[in-house]
């Protein structure tokens, strides 16, 4: 727990949320997120896991390559990452919020020394009122593109940083029942501790920009649950989505610990 016993939230923002399901990053959405953090910062401290580097790069370049598609994605991520951080910095700075960049790869979580180093570094950043913005180090790693839009990374970071709550912002009002998807009536599963039930309900789908879909979000929630961290899957496309969820004024899925 941070200073003054603030609760620690890890917010994972997918590409579909950052772009508001368009072909470019939405400054309005980043402003909305920054505004909410500014409102909540007296009670909560934040760590962000952000996708979107590839989406940003696509606004600027169309790479030509005879290489593997994965290398083109890695190259796009390399071009997009500094732009993504600049847009975060500009929007957060205007509201008096400080940001920092942390690029991690899955191998970092496997070594005890690097795990300790990540945790200590991020704790120093938070103690000094910087919001760590984590992304996968795409230039050297292929896992994100394989596993799904940083969902797993967010869960591993949540466990390592001992957060109180994992928020996964996506483009749905949480997890819908299979029956309601089939009948196109979209009913949200509000709360459960049974991850297997959720797995049975979801239908595999890939979002427009993200590579995740609900399968990887449930897998992330399962990782968090094993560490006794609650996960909320909520609709990041709506304005004020975190504040409304924390005040229980919106529909979202709460995956509680056993």
The whole-number average pLDDT for the span 109-138 is 94
How many percent of the chain have pLDDT more than 90? 62
Which pLDDT does position 138 carry in this prediction? 67
Confidence of residue 149 (pLDDT cuts 50, 70, 90): low
- Indicate the fold that domain 3-255 takes in CATH: Carbamate kinase (3.40.1160)
The whole-number average pLDDT for the span 20-47 is 95
Which pLDDT does position 1 carry in this prediction? 44
How far, in Å, CA of 223 to CA of 232, rounded? 13
Which pLDDT does position 170 carry in this prediction? 93
Give the residues across from 166 on adjacent strands: 10, 231
Which residues 6+ apart lie within 8 Å of 124 measured at CB? Answer: none
The whole-number average pLDDT for the span 68-91 is 89
- Full-model pTM: 0.92
How far, in Å, CA of 155 to CA of 231, rounded? 9
Domains of the chain, residue spans:
3-255
């Amino acid at each position: 727990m941070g200073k003054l016993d603030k609760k620690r939230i890890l917010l994972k923002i997918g590409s579909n949320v950052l772009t508001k399901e368009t072909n470019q990053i939405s400054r309005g959405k980043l402003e909305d997120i920054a505004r909410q953090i500014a409102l909540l910062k007296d009670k909560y401290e934040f760590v962000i896991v952000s996708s979107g580097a590839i989406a940003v790069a696509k606004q600027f370049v169309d790479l030509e390559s005879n290489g593997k598609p994965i290398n083109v994605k890695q190259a796009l991520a390399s071009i997009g990452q500094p732009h993504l951080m600049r847009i975060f910095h500009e929007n957060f700075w205007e509201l008096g919020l400080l940001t920092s960049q942390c690029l991690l790869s899955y191998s970092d979580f496997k070594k005890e020394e690097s795990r300790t180093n990540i945790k200590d570094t991020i704790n120093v950043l938070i103690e000094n009122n910087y919001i760590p913005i984590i992304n996968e180090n795409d230039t050297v790693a292929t896992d994100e593109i394989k596993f799904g839009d940083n969902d797993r990374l967010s869960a591993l970071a949540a466990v390592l940083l001992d957060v109180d709550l994992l928020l996964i912002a996506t483009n749905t009002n949480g997890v819908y029942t299979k029956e309601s998807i089939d009948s196109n009536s979209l009913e949200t599963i509000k709360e459960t501790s049974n991850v297997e039930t959720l797995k049975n309900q979801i239908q595999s789908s890939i979002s427009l920009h993200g590579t995740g879909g609900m399968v990887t979000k449930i897998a992330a929630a399962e990782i968090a649950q094993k560490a006794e961290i609650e996960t909320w899957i909520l609709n990041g496309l709506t304005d004020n989505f975190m504040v409304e969820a924390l005040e229980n004024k919106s529909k979202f899925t709460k995956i509680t610990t056993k």
